[in-house]
Amino acid sequence: MKRLKVLAPLGACLLALAAVAQAEIIPLSRACESALALSAGPANLREAAGVLVLGNSGYETVRASSNGFTCMVERNHELSLVPQCFDERSLDAHVSMLLEEGRKIRQGVPFETILEQREAGLENGQYKPASGPGIVYMISDFNYIRGPGGDVVKVAPHVMFHAPNLSHADIGSDPATALQNRGLPIIASEGPHGFMVSFTDAPSDSADVLAYCAGELPDASAFRPFPPPTAP
């Protein structure tokens, strides 16, 4: 009986610690997260796209895909929200990795550890590159993404194309030139898991996000924009 009395407070303490770990990310209602996920893609794909949201134990399916596209909100920082719509080739290459990371988030694993494990998995072949050409839509107006310095930046709407082992030299471009000329491609994460990225002129329609996420999203003015504004 005495042992049970000792274990009871210990169990309560562990549950409290788990709650703290889970509370570190921005909490979203299911309706808000679904709308945010779908905002990553163009309107013509949304109705039939699959939707995943972060539940108590990891990502859960809200709706199965009937057009080959699956949309979800990645978390890579306590304050990040990264809406993405993946094509079928991305399911094994990227979505499976994010599903695993969702479970780790809910287990209270620190983001630094999760990202270190991601890098190791990309390096050692645990996570496979896309099997062929494909696309990831990120045209939402709510791209709050962890930057290289560890802070969160508001990234402009863009489209990413699978581009394994493609370099800036291959496409005759460079980041500085591309950032000054929206639409020109940039290579992100050069190597087997690389993408060719092109920024779009305007984000997708945000009406559903504004309707379902009132009071749930962070103040965008807290994040610096990327690409940075160009001088007129």
Percent of the chain with pLDDT over 90: 69
Contact 46, 63 (CB under 8 A): no
Contact 37, 73 (CB under 8 A): yes
- pTM of the model as a whole: 0.87
Say how far apart CA 17 and CA 22 lie, in whole Å.
9
Question: Side-chain half-sphere of 201: how many Cα atoms within 13 Å?
Answer: 0
- pLDDT category at 21 given cuts 50, 70, 90 is very low
Say how far apart CA 232 and CA 229 lie, in whole Å.
9
What single-letter DSSP state applies at residue 222? G
Report the number of distinct structural domains present in the chain.
1
For residue 183, tell me if it sits in a domain. Answer: no
Comparing CA positions, the residue from 144, 154, 141, 142 lying closest to residue 76 is 144
For residue 180, tell me if it sits in a domain. Answer: no
For residue 53, tell me if it sits in a domain. Answer: yes
Domain that holds residue 143: 26-157+200-226
For residue 191, tell me if it sits in a domain. Answer: no
For residue 186, tell me if it sits in a domain. Answer: no
Determine phi and psi for 29, rounding to 5 degrees. Answer: -70, 160
pLDDT of 166 > 60? The answer is yes
Instruction: Check residue 16 and give its pLDDT.
Output: 34
- At 31-76, the pLDDT tens digits run 999 999 999 999 999 999 999 999 999 999 999 999 999 999 999 9
Say how far apart CA 160 and CA 105 lie, in whole Å.
25
For residue 163, tell me if it sits in a domain. Answer: no
Strand partners, 73: 83
For residue 142, tell me if it sits in a domain. Answer: yes
Say how far apart CA 40 and CA 19 lie, in whole Å.
29
For residue 170, tell me if it sits in a domain. Answer: no
